[in-house]
Structure 1
Amino acid sequence: MKKITMLVLAVLLLAFIPDEALAKTDDWQGERIYFLMVDRFANGDPANDLDADRDDPSAYHGGDFKGITKRLDYIKEMGFTAIWLTPIFENEGKGYHGYWISDFRKAEEHFGTMEEFKTLVKEAHKRDIKVLLDFVVNHTGYQHEWLTDPDKKDWFHEEQEITNWEDQKQLEDNWLYGLPDLDQENAEVRKYLLDTAKWWITETDIDGYRLDTVRHVPKDFWTEFSKEVKSVKKDFFLLGEVWSEDPAYLAEYEKTGIDSFVDYPFYEEASEIFSKLGTSAGPLVDVWKRNEHYYDSPHLLGTFLDNHDNIRFTRKALINQEPPGTRWKLGLTYLFTAPGIPILYYGSEIALDGAEDPDNRRMMDFRADEELIQYIGKLNKIRSAEPALTKGKMEKLYDRNGLTVLKRTYKGETLVTAINNSDQTAEAIIPAAELADDKVLTGLLAGEEAKNKNGEFELVLNRESAEVYKLNEPAGPHWGLISATIGVPVLFIGYLYAAGRRRKKVS
């Protein structure tokens, strides 16, 4: 009787565990990435600050591996499942950003030791956080020792600047902003870069690379690169940077085996739309439709509103004389409910300001207001729980006067995102035929509910606000709760009764 009681109790309790708590994301399509610049995030060890100077925007500021490790719980609590780090390799001079590499197989001393980086990866994995490392193969630092090594004189292309950015040969062979351009067609260079890429995976157990300056390196190199790194770790993820607003051009690199790309066409549209009042989010659906046309895996594209190479989204809002917090909420609502892998640049959660590089790389401040942080946490939780937001189709239901309503559907589940980017309360009338006659829309952010009235759903949103709805069955008796409320006491009484009878028999 006791075993039966425990079994029934277990079954009843499982009825109350949300499906999302039982599910586990097992592909990158469901990840949410927090992108941070190592030097500008958190200072966990002042002993490695060396010549750090926070008053100089072009100098090291003190961020390091230990600082990131100490803040992993902060990242986890916001709901992110992966972190992308700027290059951690040894750099020259004021290479705080990591892109002026002097040694591809050493950790930058300002950031800490190799053992401290390995600890960071291990601690991230304990929290189910994957680690993406920025990897550079196009160039070295300005003063790299190979430049004066006679045995490596043919490791670089001839020094000449890019004068025609439409000329692919110039993009691949000429020096980008004066940085010495490696010749990946040289067998020795190619072998060194491939071996180095595999070495970091073997040594540190990282989960992926964000590949810098992809279009400045020949496609055949990336084809071999993709094959080689995945031979070490088959589920290793490659996120490429092809800085272009032409999706057709960008998508050509998908054929090399690179899994995903940061979606610059999306960024250009989205950052403009959400940084000012009165614009419609509708054009972003067109961006998505183009992606579906050009890419084999459009759901894997990395979507973002700002990064370390562009002025901060907050600055764009301020230029438009708009309150950044409100602008961020609207933009993030779209980012986390639209197709793609959301990428959040560190500091966005506190609306960190910044103009052109290096001002867009200010030191993180952990003492800021938490309202936006909590909002991001909600969005991450919703996205994690709803497969329709990561795998579903997207359709525009309404788009007028700054109010946009979008539908995501997947395996019978429907989510609706409504964004009012206007200066007044707005309503959208959605025919029930677009959703369902016998269901209701339940707000997941503010909790508002919309019912079918006379064959229509009426969505009303305050000015500059957003809501994410789920199409649900109308509220009714919760039979699981009722059965548990009645069944558990009955089973318990039955157990006591049986136990009492056994004692009587013994006596």
Structure 2
Amino acid sequence: MKKIIYLVLLLLVNFSFAQIDRVEPPFWYEGMNHNQVQILFYGKNIAQNTVSVSNNVVITQVQKTENPNYVFVTIDTKNVAAQELIFTFKNGKKAFTQNYSIKKRKENSRNRKSFDSSDMMYLIMPDRFANGNEKNDSTPELQEKGNRNLPGGRHGGDIQGIINNLEYLQSLGATALWSTPLCEDNDKGYSYHGYGQSDVYKIDARYGTNEDYVRLSAEMKKKNLKLVMDYVTNHWGAEHWMFKDMPTYDWFHQFPGYKQSNYRMTTQYDTNASAIDSKLCMDGWFVPSMPDLNQSNPLVLKYLTQNAIWWIEYADLDGFRVDTYSYNDKEGISKWTKAITDEYPYFNIVGEVWMHDQAQISYWQKDSPIAKIQSYNSYLPSVMDFTLHDVYGNVFNEDNPSWNDGMIKFYENFVNDFLYDNPNNLLIFAENHDTGRFNQNYKNDISKYKMAMTILATMRGIPQLYYGSEIGMAGDKGKGDADIRQDFPGGWNSDKNNAFSASGRTEEQAKYFDFTAKVFNWRKSKSVIHNGKLMHYLPDNNVYVYFRYNDTESVMVVVNNSKDKQTLKLDRFQERLGSYTNGKDVISEKNFELKSELSIDGKSSIILELK
């Protein structure tokens, strides 16, 4: 009897000792280029153990830190087929095991096609888009509860709401979806934006589950839509479990503790910058609630790299948008980006580089002619064209053109395309979730919206549309971010106006939607727009004329920002008109003879397919 009691007690001791709270990545895949897999095991005093693994898999490194609750075990998965591995942790006579899966990889996963200039990317704030499952608006394990009456609160939009409205995206002409972060953000308040993540391997329960996210990806692929994840490399949230029990002191940038970034991204390449200014840009925290990650720490960089690759493989992703790209450690983020594009050669990543000079933005694009001066390469395929966004800000109110005002601003923006290695791979936009609302800026003048969308739909690059603009949604950034991130009408069962359906739209909403859908659905099949050449002409009387053309097609775009009707002498454009004698306007569907003159109404645009 005593022997039985002893054995039971021994088992209980070993069971209580065998405590692993987290394993990250939770599993891996066979046949990956990234085959040196660093597995984080987390549990009380786990570092006191020796580690071994089954099936002749080689452990190439066991790394322990000053925190005994962590151990980082690197295994070589090259030529290791899909199977279940068993890790054994042993401390003296005490031992326990942990299963670990190597899963079969999706066929041809490495060569997945990503988003490109043939796409129109639709940006949503998921909490504000559509509530498909009211049961998950609040969850017991997360601090902030659903409260749609609070402008900056959780409103209940979720993954199911996105799935329910994929046909809406199709009807609009969108081909790719960029959702702001969906991973868990457990801040006490104002957590709906998702940029203060508390667990980067877990979808926020108020949006759904990891399985729901995988289902979203699968449903989108059935409809030929691409899923782009908003990835954050620069910072996590203060509620992140690893911030509360740091693996190493330098996992996050310490001063000690918090010190705010100076936000001066120019210090990253300024040859005259002081060391302290450069350090505060890269290492300073974005805000006090977002501890800044230290990508120069090899453990951190490996963790972020594997997490990104894991999500691509697990959720079958089609691209990344990377938040605050130029605030990261410059060398670290370059290694992170290259590791991902080495794994997936055709995978597109667009970085947020919020600057107001083309040379400075170009610096961050892969193979930049500017960055080559300093022998730097970010390996980032795409950057966001913030200088074009700047042009959109007030140009359509500038009725009296001058040397610097009016449509010359568009012209001058595209003049600087020579600074980019690949202008076709720039993300172009009139607004996003952080900027002023276009329709607010222009007091819902639909003629100005139509001119803006004409340029967005026909210019080089990848057009991005911010949710709700296509139905005239506005919002005053001066009242706070919540006002530019209002709920999409019809996304909640209690909404009286359902703009997701043609029958539910108001007359005004329909005008916006119909125009947007017409130009972007037309764009879908137009390779001359996707990758054709651009020739533009100096604006005259506030009229901007440009051509998109290739060997077989030519499109003439005319945007009249003047209040008055304008008549153009066509001999000026003979270089591109050549033998074309007429054109059909995509917008009005009218035919235009192209003999000596072309007239266009004030504050309007035409897109002529030349014949």
Under a length normalisation based on structure 1, what TM-score does the superposition of the two structures give?
0.83
Show structure 1 runs of 5+ residues with no match: 1-24, 473-507
2:362–2:419 Cα contact (<8 Å) kept: yes
1:266–1:284 Cα contact (<8 Å) kept: yes
Q: Deviations over 1:430-460 (max 9, x none)?
A: 216231245212212112333243xx2x221
Deviating beyond 6 angstroms after TM superposition, the runs of 4 or more aligned structure 1 residues are none
The residue identity in structure 2 corresponding to 1:361 is: R
Match for residue 39 of structure 1?
127
Q: 1:219 aligns with which of 330, 346, 350?
A: 330
Distance 2:115 2:121 in 1: 13
Paired residue secondary structure (2:247): helix
Q: How far is 1:402 from its partner?
A: 2.3
Match for residue 81 of structure 1?
175
What are the residue-to-residue correspondences of 1:319-468 with 2, within 5 Å?
323-356=444-477, 357-365=481-489, 366-367=498-499, 368=505, 369-397=509-537, 399-431=539-571, 433-434=574-575, 435-437=577-579, 439-453=581-595, 456=596, 458-468=597-607
Q: How far is 1:218 from its partner?
A: 2.0
Match for residue 99 of structure 1?
195
Distance 2:593 2:217 in 1: 47
Paired residue secondary structure (1:286): helix
Cα RMSD for the two superposed structures:
1.9
Distance 1:364 1:347 in 2: 6
The residue identity in structure 2 corresponding to 1:265 is: T
1:397–1:430 Cα contact (<8 Å) kept: no
1:222–1:258 Cα contact (<8 Å) kept: no
Q: How far is 1:85 from its partner?
A: 0.8
Q: Deviations over 1:106-134 (max 9, x none)?
A: 10011011111111100101111110000
2:476–2:484 Cα contact (<8 Å) kept: yes
Q: 1:56 aligns with which of 150, 171, 192?
A: 150
Match for residue 498 of structure 1?
none
Distance 1:164 1:195 in 2: 28
Match for residue 161 of structure 1?
260
Q: How far is 1:273 from its partner?
A: 1.3
Structure 1 175/56 Cα, relative in aligned 2: closer, same or farther at 3 Å?
Answer: same
1:275–1:313 Cα contact (<8 Å) kept: no
Distance 1:361 1:171 in 2: 28
The residue identity in structure 2 corresponding to 1:413 is: E
Show structure 2 runs of 5+ residues with no match: 1-112, 139-144, 268-276, 366-376, 490-497, 500-504
1:275–1:316 Cα contact (<8 Å) kept: no
Distance 2:199 2:397 in 1: 40
The residue identity in structure 1 corresponding to 2:543 is: L
Distance 2:357 2:574 in 1: 36
Kindly indicate whether residue 350 of structure 2 is the aligned counterpart of residue 239 of structure 1: yes
Q: How far is 1:195 from its partner?
A: 1.0
Structure 1 275/377 Cα, relative in aligned 2: closer, same or farther at 3 Å?
Answer: farther
Percent sequence identity over aligned pairs: 30
The residue identity in structure 2 corresponding to 1:303 is: I
1:33–1:344 Cα contact (<8 Å) kept: yes
Match for residue 300 of structure 1?
425
The residue identity in structure 1 corresponding to 2:123 is: F
Kindly indicate whether residue 354 of structure 2 is the aligned counterpart of residue 258 of structure 1: no
Structure 1 459/196 Cα, relative in aligned 2: closer, same or farther at 3 Å?
Answer: same
1:315–1:354 Cα contact (<8 Å) kept: yes
What are the residue-to-residue correspondences of 1:277-296 with 2, within 5 Å?
277=399, 280-290=406-416, 292-296=417-421
Q: How far is 1:316 from its partner?
A: 0.7
**Number of residue pairs the alignment of both structures matches:** 440
1:219–1:253 Cα contact (<8 Å) kept: no
Match for residue 389 of structure 2?
267
Q: How far is 1:231 from its partner?
A: 4.1
Distance 2:243 2:455 in 1: 47
Distance 1:438 1:209 in 2: 41
Paired residue secondary structure (1:394): strand
Under a length normalisation based on structure 2, what TM-score does the superposition of the two structures give?
0.69
The residue identity in structure 1 corresponding to 2:560 is: N
The residue identity in structure 2 corresponding to 1:39 is: D
2:533–2:548 Cα contact (<8 Å) kept: yes
Distance 1:41 1:471 in 2: 39
Match for residue 218 of structure 2?
122
Q: Is the deviation greater in 424-433 or in 293-302?
A: 424-433
Structure 1 345/114 Cα, relative in aligned 2: closer, same or farther at 3 Å?
Answer: same
Q: How far is 1:376 from its partner?
A: 1.2
Kindly indicate whether residue 388 of structure 2 is the aligned counterpart of residue 249 of structure 1: no
Distance 1:360 1:413 in 2: 39
1:278–1:421 Cα contact (<8 Å) kept: no
Q: 2:280 aligns with which of 147, 170, 176?
A: 170
Paired residue secondary structure (2:260): coil
